[in-house]
Amino acid sequence: MTAQLKTVIDRMYAGGSTGFHFHQTALLLDAGADHVFDAAISQYKAMTSYLKWEDLGIICVPNMENKGSMKESSKLGEVIQLAKSIK
């Protein structure tokens, strides 16, 4: 875990002494290019592990270069299914 991520976690805890009201998380990433998600995924996994959160899934959607690109994405179905699975 990087020092920067640890700082974010510490600041999140500073706001509430009882912890978090959620224990499940998911990561949705989109970008104009492919192969740019590795660092964000690595940090997300470190944070979920450290905080003992349940990871419900990671969806990366590349090639989101234009407004409305998500409507045409093959990953849209995955995003909808993930959203429906959240309790």
In the chain, what are the domain boundaries? 22-85
Q: What is the pLDDT of residue 87?
A: 73
Q: What is the pTM of this model?
A: 0.76
Band of pLDDT at residue 8, cut at 50, 70 and 90: confident
Q: Are residues 73 and 65 in contact, defined by beta-carbon separation less than 8 angstroms? A: no
Q: How open is the CA angle 8-11-15, to the nearest 5 degrees?
A: 140
- pLDDT tens track for 38-81: 999 998 998 888 888 899 999 999 988 889 888 888 899 999 99
Q: What is the pLDDT of residue 18?
A: 65
Produce one character per residue of 45-55: b if its CB has 16 or more CB atoms within 10 Å, e if not: eebbeeeebee
